[in-house]
Chains A and B, each alone.
Chain A
Amino acid sequence: MSTLEIKDLHVSVSTEDGAKEILKGVTLTIKDGETHAIMGPNGSGKSTLAYSIAGHPKYDVTDGTVTLDGEDVLAMSVDERARAGLFLAMQYPVEVPGVSVANFLRTAKTAIDGEAPKLRTWVKDVNAAMGENGLDASFSQRSVNEGFSGGEKKRHEIAQLNLLQPKVAVLDETDSGLDIDALKVVSEGVNRFSAGGDKGVLLITHYTRILRYIKPDFVHVFVNGRIAEQGGPELADQLEAEGYDKYVNAAV
């Protein structure tokens, strides 16, 4: 049982000309077992929403609340949020030179579980999660994301999702830049994650393509820092046909 509840979230970034408001009141509730798709044009604030949930220091929450099972997420540090059960698959995963994937994954798993994973099963689990996402065992010895192709970085994010088993996953344009085979691989990874029916997924995407493989329960159209429209999966089909124009024009 877990619920991520976002209420009237306002977020600014600081610019040379002072604070600039990017999220202008976002309200959204993700219950366990639910997959929500957020779709919107570039620059509408999708990544801002994802990073704000994860606690990136660049984003200032000026108003609103975010809670996970009633706990105040905004009061938590970045790592506390992850340990509370939140996971962000980043649009642009960061390279960490000199830190091996194996070491990174073990350290993360230990931090999240509060104890080191059992040696005997862990290596198997890692190899399985990597393998299922199309990354061979040699990736374990490489530096985190360093020299990975765009697709490999995204698949590595989903392998982490599978290993760390958070309560709620926020996936920021995990589909962008993937060819169709890689898209299927990551979609299967996300579906494996949510298959138990007790996980929440916030799937942020620019395109409808991934929704052929991951079935959302709800679709939200995100424009200019707000949710402009919500509906079921049929809303995605409508967006596919009509694009964002009518929402963008209405927002200006």
Chain B
Amino acid sequence: MSALLQVEGLTKHFPVRRGILRRIVGHVQAVTDVSFAVAAGETLAIVGESGCGKSTTGRALLRLIEPSAGSIRMEGTELTTLSPARMRQMRRQMQIIFQDPYGSLNPRMTVREVLSEPLLLHGVATPATLQAKVAEVLGLCGLSSFHAERYPHEFSGGQRQRVGIARALATRPKLIVCDEPVSALDVSVQAQIVNLLQDLQRQLGVAYVFISHDLAVVRHIATRVAVMYLGRIVEEAPAAELFAAPLHPYTRSLIAAAPRPDPAAGRAKASVEGDAPSALAPPPGCAFHPRCPVAVERCRSERPELRGIGPTRVACHLAEPATDRALPRPLDADTPLARRLAVLAAARARKQEGTAA
């Protein structure tokens, strides 16, 4: 299989300068030696605590941040050595959406203007076809033509994210980097946007690099998951595998800490102590060892390399093939919640029939 996107050894270390001479006194090791591949039409999720390097990775893929080292190939084309002009052309294929689209939408531009820019720039529309193209991409994102004349501040958070997605989608890219796209949204709206992203993927075959700190959202949307800790990937696996049999102690702690909306499930045990250390001076050996519940002497001095165990890549000296698997429970149709949802869905269907008739 030839991947859509192939990343090898991606590294970004930010120099830290001090004093009037602005001398470099150290480096924030935001991303170190990150490798992964994304196939057409799939979703690779990147998860981890804040500061672990997710956004830096996402931005480096589009060279919105210049990588310090490494290779990024999109459909075989090496991006890190492209001229600025060629790189701009490449962005027709690669787009990005952010947590707060408001921050990246010009408040003085109507939605029509926001969408026209990439459409004309990349020659996807001509002045003659512009109107139709704008309407088309709005429709794909669940917005109506009358939204085109509105300004970003006139939209709710969820609708604004739809505008952000519409802008990213306008040039029909093959890959969209989604950096915490639903983290600022209320759950009812989050569900709408997650469904929209999934629908668009099914319809258009677009691939996502989906950055999130929310493992429940990731389980729902991802084909594969990469877990980052202090700038490095510590585990990567198909989503079903990662959640059924997490092999890295850090992945296990993240999964255990996610709160479950089910009082019968009991309270999550804080399985990890303390905070993640600073990316200025990651601990020697395994960077996770100061917080790891099972660390041994070797972990303090020798850095574990990523190695394959079944379909999983994991960087832990002690990782072994899983002996038991936590399979997700199927959605039970006979809970009161499920029954009531069915009542609501039936009522909604009746209403839609009523208005259609």
A binds B: no
